[in-house]
A and B are shown apart, each in its own frame.
Chain A
Amino acid sequence: MGTPEKLVIMVTHGPDDPELATLPFTMAAAALASDVEVVMGFQGEGCLLMKKGVAETVSVPDLAPISDLIGTIAELGGKLLVCWPGLKSRELDQEDLVAGAEIVAAARLVVEVTSATNTLTY
């Protein structure tokens, strides 16, 4: 289907804003179902969504819950990249994160964003 498309979705909200925390997962799953490559980048409060047990506490009416979508996104090949400074300031490390979450820093996210065909920021 022509040039492969790649969507980078930056997630900057977590339990502080359940709707803005959930929508990026909604978009990621829809994109993967449409054969679009997806990379999710978590920064700031968004980092908390990658902490084990947190996604289960965040939900909004009429959207599939994050905890269900994380598994779907991983299954369909989506990447979950978590910014290291955001983890460090929240005293989190790799062992605190959900399966599939990868710790990165700014330069790696820049590589992902500049190679994307589109970027969304929440």
Chain B
Amino acid sequence: MAETEIKATVVVDARGLLCPMPIVKTAKAMKGLAAGEVLKVIATDRGAIADVPAWAGSTGNELLEWHEEGGDLVFFLRRGEEE
């Protein structure tokens, strides 16, 4: 876990949402960010552990870090130059 939490421009609360809605909400929110800005996503569906890195890789965005906080999965993603 990072000592200092990364600062996010926008936070998506996807807790309680089932597959594939955490990714759908993440994609929608990312489109509202400028290149270089950071999105924080909080999810509880454990499919997100595999889905978020795969989605980031296929859309030109960067997964900076993820960790668990209690039962929550917390992801930090940086918007790429283009999606």
Contact = CB atoms under 8 A, between A and B. Distances in A.
Asked if A and B bind, the verdict is yes
Contact of B24 (A1, A29, A35): A29
A1 B82 contact: yes
B83 interface: yes
Nearest to A36: B58
A26 B27 CA distance: 15
Interface stretch (B14-22, B32-40, B64-72): B14-22
Interface string A73-91: 0001000000000000000
Contact of A30 (B28, B51, B60): B51
A63 B82 contact: no
Contacts of B9: none
B: interface residue count bin: 10 to 19
B58 A34 contact: yes
B23 interface: yes
A43 B71 CA distance: 40
Given A1-B59, A1-B60, A33 B83 contact: no
Interface of A: 1, 26-27, 29-30, 32-35, 62-64, 68-69, 72, 76
Those 7 A-B pairs whose CB atoms lie nearest each other, nearest first: A33-B27, A30-B20, A64-B18, A33-B24, A29-B20, A33-B23, A64-B21
Given A1-B60, A30-B51, A35-B27, 14 more contacts: A1-B59, A1-B82, A29-B20, A29-B21, A29-B23, A30-B24, A30-B55, A32-B24, A33-B20, A33-B23, A34-B27, A35-B83, A64-B17, A76-B24
26 contacts: A1-B58, A1-B59, A1-B82, A1-B83, A29-B24, A30-B19, A30-B20, A30-B51, A30-B55, A33-B20, A33-B23, A33-B24, A33-B55, A34-B27, A34-B55, A34-B58, A34-B59, A35-B59, A35-B83, A62-B18, A63-B18, A64-B21, A69-B20, A72-B21, A72-B24, A76-B24
